[in-house]
Chain A
Amino acid sequence: MAADTQIVRLSAAQMAQKLKDKEISSRELTQAEINVIAAAEPSLKAFLTVSAKQALEQADAVDEARAKGEELGPLAGVPIAVKDMIVTRGIETTAASRILDGWIPPYDATAVRKLKAAGMPILGKTNLDEFAQGSSTEHSAFYPTHNPWDTTRVPGGSGGGSASAVAAFEAPLALGTDTGGSIRQPGAFTGTVGVKPTYGGVSRFGAIAMASSLDQIGPVSRTVMDAALLHAVIGGHDPADSTSIPEDVPPVVEAATAGQNQDLKGLKVGVVKEMQGEGYSPAVSKRFEQCVDKLRQMGAEVREVSLPRVSYALDAYYILMPSEVSSNLARYDGMRYGLRVMPPADQPQTSAGMMAWTREMGFGDEVKRRIILGTYALSAGFYDAWYGSAQKVRTLILCDFEQAFGQVDVLVSPTSPVTAFRLGEEITDPMTMYRNDICTIPANLAGIPAMSVPAGLDENGLPIGFQIMAPQKRDDLMYRPAAALEKALEQESGSLLDKLSAPWLDKAAKAGDVDADQAATIGKAEQKAVMDEIADRMKEER
């Protein structure tokens, strides 16, 4: 059993090599991950559903195919976790909302279909802020996820579940969705790699919509190369998504490979002037500068670049995002799937009443706040002043990036101004919470690719993230400096995640193989308790 601990600490690329060399089977690897999940979940709460049975079946199918000598993809047999914002056929999908509790989708997202075609067993669905709305995963309707570096702290959000799971070795890879930083900021908080591809680079078909013009599915991993390999699997044109770019995935794996040479000569790097200084923790600023120095030492030409109107990005985002949210979340009305709550007995038992009480009981506070704000922003008489103006700001931000990318190949900034905060610490004031995404939001508005790579630890031993942004459709450009920086930092002080004490690994090793049926119960009792509260609250209403 001791071997388990070693297997799960490997990168996805290393796992793939061992599978290819038949040193391990996909079943062994998948079972090892399930064992870690069972041991870690009580302290992390990264998963909402563990689909152990399906994962092991998929693993067996890959092992069989390999035994037959069939041609397999580069990640065949490597298991993966999927953010519960992405639809999986036959596996409960909830968006961490009471309103979708128990929903078993009849179809797969395109990205999930591609994972299955690539032979990647799906371990389960990871926790998030309800409908991906939040920056801490505390807004999950069911339970908050904890940061494996310090379980009293948040893993960031909305994709805290995917980031924690990957950081804690519960899964080598995960899928996330990023609307304003939901892949990158948790990456920074957990010491993992998080990539938001170019808007339209990965199909959104089957990604539950939060804000359609900003949402993008992307990889969560422990290494830059792993992210590139996963990016290549899920990316590319999809005729089922009208906003999908009709082009092949940029050569991201080649770029990551090239970066490992640590030769960045000829690469022009722009430090964003507006994403530093006041409001950034000293440790974040210091590590950021050290990383920029490393890029320079590897031959990159570094200069400061201004995005003069980026200060309006947060404001524009908090108009556009809730507007789209208010419309995208209308379909959760108790008619076709998910929760239905009838009005209290003294009120009309109509469809309209049912919808209103279903949505009142089914949505959490943050979601309701955004729906109401977005409804206001779109209402007659305010459209031009709010939504219309925000769309114009979007044009200005696109112009700013265009000018910047006329001068440099990539832009860099801290991923987040701060490191992981304590659970409950920032939830009270919405604007404070929103400001966490100040460095990540501009890339979503401009549709450009951006990624966060680990940049070391702060004085509390908490991870810090370094963000790299590239022009639209040039996702490959950011992988080269990312891989180079990763290697340089590793040479300096070793792999970051090796520093993570992960007591659940020993616990898993001692506990032995966890049964699939038992794994499927993980989290379910707590989720049922949350759903039971609805009935209690409705009793009070009567």
Chain B
Amino acid sequence: MAEKLMSFEEAIKRYDPVWGLETHVELNTKTKLFCPAPYSFGGEPNTELTPVSLGLPGSLPVLNKQAIDDAIRLGLALHCHINEWSQWSRKNYFYPDMPRDYQISQDDKPLNGEGYLDVELDDGSTFRVPILRAHVEDDAGKNTHIGGAAGRIEGAAYSLIDYNRAGVPLVEIVTQPVTGTGAKAAEIAGAYVRMLRDIARALGVSEGRLEQGNMRADVNVSLRESPDAPLGTRSETKNVNSFRGIEKTIIYEIRRQATILSQGGEILQETRNWDESTQTTANGRLKSDANDYRYFPDPDLVQVHTTQEHIDELKATLPEMPLHRRHRLQKEWGLDDRQMHAILNAGALDLIDQTVQAGASADGARKWWLGEISRVANEQKLALDELPVTPDDVAELEQMIADGKLNDRLAKKTIAGVLAGEGTPSEVADAHGYKVVEAGSELGSIIDKAFADNPDVVEKLKSGNMKPMGVIIGAVMRATRGQADAKAVSAEVIKKIRG
């Protein structure tokens, strides 16, 4: 693949892309799917194991009720058909991090059957992504590769295995082949995965942090001559663990496959890996010599029976879905689509909503989160919710402005203090003595002094020429070290001139 790739625009012009995602969402249950071992990200290696999660001879799996309920709730949020009877199957393959050398998954009787998810695009239109199934399975352990470059598996001398993660519950959400997305393929895929993340968080079933492996996706892409043609051979790019990576994988695979096809070549059915450093996918193994997984019903487990009554109970616990909430808030806050997208792109929706709930105006909350706070977050390369400022802080700040205790300038200085970790807005303002000088005798005498220092200006003002007003205001502000309210100063000056 050393030669130049066809441009994306050209590829889309000549071929119709079809893609699918298999997204793994790690559930945040206290214990594993098949045994009561606890799990915590970053725990001391091999300390969170029972005989089951280490695959010891004689050990047997028993299902975690919370994991099943969480998975059903996720299925309901994706409008899936919940199967009354669901079955566990063994997926047989050998790998050092698989304690039993088979994964317990679901094959032809998954917990959640067909469903869909509507995603909203930047232009405000909605696309329905069809879902084939959302089944439950257990995760494998973690390998650390030793002796190769930068911890890579290639060239490693050996690997260390930590089985802590083995047995952690995953829900694998599999889309149908998604057609009709054309040039928007990557955008729709990205919006879909973000929406899955938002739903998982809204349900409280997963942290949805891709960088911690809470979510990862296998990306399938194929091309065909036209929308009427049968599906082409697909590539499967495994374990892509960032939103941008998923989008870039789709774009890269469309370009790569279009290049091959345009040269009369053939797409191999293979698994590939996304390489963040080169921004390309590289081939893993050919599907033809890959494992035949020999699925069969796990005889150590029996079928899960999910009654309609239980489904109804779980349905009643579902929170407002992210898309619905988004529309509601946009309306409540009186925003246009562009403004709303700015909020979503900044990841500020929850923060602004919480700020409004804490008493601030929507405009005020939005101004702070997308303005000063976003600027600092970008500088420090942090997410908004990783900064030492809370929605309550922002609401308090807004209240102080409304009460006339702070002016814009002082408020900016106050938030800088909050962002520096100095405390709440009132603590910061108190500590620094940020305080608007109120109209009254104190302000009056400062203005009188400014008049005395600038007799020529006073003359002009008295003659009705208001242009040099700024000179007086500037002098007052300097004298009060910015703690006076400019409007109040202006009003007082006019009163005195006309007085």
Residues of A bordering B, CB below 8 Å: 86-87, 93, 95, 100, 103, 105-107, 109, 204-209, 211-213, 239-243, 323-324, 326-327, 330-333, 335-337, 351-352, 355, 375, 378-380, 383, 387
Contact = CB atoms under 8 A, between A and B. Distances in A.
B58 A86 contact: yes
30 contacts: A87-B57, A87-B58, A105-B57, A106-B51, A106-B56, A212-B298, A212-B299, A213-B299, A241-B60, A242-B60, A243-B300, A243-B301, A326-B294, A327-B92, A327-B296, A330-B92, A330-B102, A331-B99, A331-B100, A331-B101, A333-B94, A336-B54, A337-B57, A352-B94, A378-B92, A378-B294, A378-B295, A379-B292, A380-B292, A383-B295
Contacts of B295: 378, 383
Contact of B58 (A209, A239, A323, A327): A209
Contacts of A333: 94, 96, 101
B62 A331 contact: no
Interface string B46-84: 000001001111111111000000000000000000000
B471 interface: no
Contacts of B61: 242
Contacts of B159: 351
A212 B300 contact: yes
Contact of B57 (A93, A213, A240, A242): A93
**Residue among B51, B90, B102 with most chain A CB within 10 A:** B51
A100 B57 CA distance: 10
A506 B298 CA distance: 51
A386 B355 CA distance: 63
Given A327-B102, A335-B161, A378-B92, A107 B56 contact: yes
A204 B60 contact: yes
B58 A109 contact: yes
A207 B58 CA distance: 5
Nearest to A334: B96
B45 to A, nearest CB: 13
A335 B56 CA distance: 11
Contacts of A208: 57-58
Contacts of B57: 87, 93, 95, 100, 103, 105, 208-209, 331-332, 337
Contacts of B60: 204-205, 240-243
A243 B302 contact: yes
Contacts of B294: 326-327, 375, 378-380, 383
Given A87-B57, A211-B299, A330-B100, 4 more contacts: A212-B298, A213-B299, A241-B60, A333-B94
Given A242-B60, A335-B96, A335-B161, A330 B300 contact: no
A218 to B, nearest CB: 16
Contacts of A204: 58, 60
Contacts of A100: 57
Interface in B90-118: 90, 92, 94, 96, 99-102
A519 to B, nearest CB: 25
Contacts of A207: 58
B164 to A, nearest CB: 13
Contacts of A106: 51, 56
B141 to A, nearest CB: 10
Contacts of B292: 379-380
B300 A351 contact: no
Contacts of A209: 57-58, 300
A379 B296 CA distance: 10
A337 B56 contact: yes
A387 B58 CA distance: 23
A331 B100 CA distance: 4
Nearest to B91: A327
Contact of A330 (B101, B161, B301): B101
B268 to A, nearest CB: 19
A385 to B, nearest CB: 13
Contacts of B58: 86-87, 105, 109, 204-209
A371 to B, nearest CB: 11
Interface string B259-297: 000000000000000000000000000000000111110
Nearest to B92: A327
A86 B56 CA distance: 12
Nearest to A379: B292
Q: Which of B55, B102, B296 has its CB near the most chain A CB atoms (within 10 A)? A: B296
Contacts of A206: 58-59
A212 B59 CA distance: 11
B99 A324 contact: no
A215 to B, nearest CB: 9
A272 B347 CA distance: 73
Which of B54, B60, B102, B301 is packed against the most chain A CB atoms within 10 Å?
Answer: B60
Across the A-B interface, give the 4 residue pairs with the lowest CB-CB distance, nearest first. Answer: A330-B101, A213-B299, A212-B299, A378-B294
B151 to A, nearest CB: 17
Interface in B313-347: none
A109 B102 CA distance: 22
Contacts of A93: 57
Nearest to A203: B60
B380 to A, nearest CB: 42
Most chain-A CB neighbours within 10 Å: which of B90, B159, B292, B299?
B299
Nearest to B300: A212
A336 B55 contact: yes
* Of listed B57, B100, B294, residue having the most chain A CB within 10 A: B57
Interface in B137-184: 159, 161, 163
Contacts of A351: 96, 159
B149 to A, nearest CB: 18
A474 B54 CA distance: 36
A205 B59 contact: yes
Nearest to A323: B296
A324 B100 CA distance: 13
Contacts of B300: 209, 212, 242-243
Among A87, A100, A333, find the residue whose CB has the most chain B CB atoms closer than 10 A.
A333
B285 to A, nearest CB: 12
Contacts of A86: 58
B286 to A, nearest CB: 16
Contacts of B101: 330-331, 333
B93 to A, nearest CB: 9
Contacts of B298: 212
Contacts of B94: 330, 333, 352, 355
A87 B52 CA distance: 13
Nearest to B158: A351
Nearest to A95: B57
A380 B93 CA distance: 13
A37 to B, nearest CB: 25
Contacts of A378: 92, 294-296
A210 to B, nearest CB: 11
B56 to A, nearest CB: 7
Interface centre among A323, A378, A379, by most chain B C-beta atoms within 10 angstroms, is A378
B143 to A, nearest CB: 10
A106 B296 CA distance: 29
B85 to A, nearest CB: 15
Contact of B296 (A239, A240, A383): A383
A242 B56 contact: no
A327 B299 CA distance: 10
A445 to B, nearest CB: 13
Contacts of A383: 294-296
Contacts of A332: 57
Interface string B24-60: 0000000000000000000000000001001111111
Contacts of B302: 242-243
Interface in B185-224: none
Contacts of A242: 60-63, 300-302
Contacts of B296: 323, 327, 378, 383, 387
Contacts of B63: 242
B56 A105 contact: yes
Nearest to B36: A240
A331 B101 CA distance: 5
